[in-house]
A and B are shown apart, each in its own frame.
Chain A
């Protein structure tokens, strides 16, 4: 038991942290559909991030009435909209807006929802009752209506849309995290932690949340999927995004008048919405299976 063996042991203890995620990754890699979905999402994210490099923002805004409602061609890959603006550019930049909204609201929901859900699930008692009843009241309001009301109150713009959407999703997320935490809190290792004198805060951070991570990740991917749709819906209804800023839902809305004459205006952004949302769902399913400790073959 010399000091070098100890050193190796200590290093190993800290290094090995990756092994669990490696195993999850290995299992995920086997799910070809999930990997395909991951690739699609990655491409979309790259498009959103590097939108400016793919096509300059001005192109998305430049009107050219002579090209009004042009069909897809070599110069305009997706055609042009009612103002002659290049649809391809608008879709590319629209990706940036749509995905930013979706991911940031999902992230906000994750952070706030996890904290509330974990605290309430672990501590229980009157706090639990109070918070859950408050959330029940929130959930009673249909989410789109609520978002509309929030936007009407706060004004339009990306940030306000994000707040509105996040608020409608937090109750559901809290409920799911709470349920997971209730399960975890019954495990003996939590009792062991208490027997060792561990504070409630440390139990939540070191013992409860890491074990709820699986549920949280899966639910978050599902949230991203649905938030892409909600953001699109709100824009479609004319809330939130200020024209001429492109956003997939707004693009669909702009194109709806020309459904019969120029269906490509709805088709391209519509397809992008579907692909993004669908891929996130599939990825979420794949992650859920990969995170399941019971090895299934």
Chain B
């Protein structure tokens, strides 16, 4: 019965719009999943900026301890700048080298990639609705070209070796 009911609806949209209408559910699902991923992304994003902010505050405290007086001449400003840069570079390098930063950053990038993946999926639905190849289909072509190139290269090499042997005789 429901199959019958869908026929009249499908009849009034033909061509790309019909395909798009039939794929709209996929787009909605992707959008819902994007929201879920965004929650995870925000968590790691907040942690990322928290780590940067905490490191900045600690580094500034160290600078204040080391150079408590306001510089009054050019030499003092240069010395202060050197202290500031050295302490900030050291502290931030220590942060970027740390396990906690690497782990959180890895997860942040991973969530960003998941968001991109969902966006790619939506784009694929749209591409297919207008009869264009999806990213996966294009990738398959690239892979096939790569395999063929490799095969041709090997055959050329074998041919070259045979020719060299022949010439040597």
A binds B: no
Residues of A within 8 A of B (CB): none
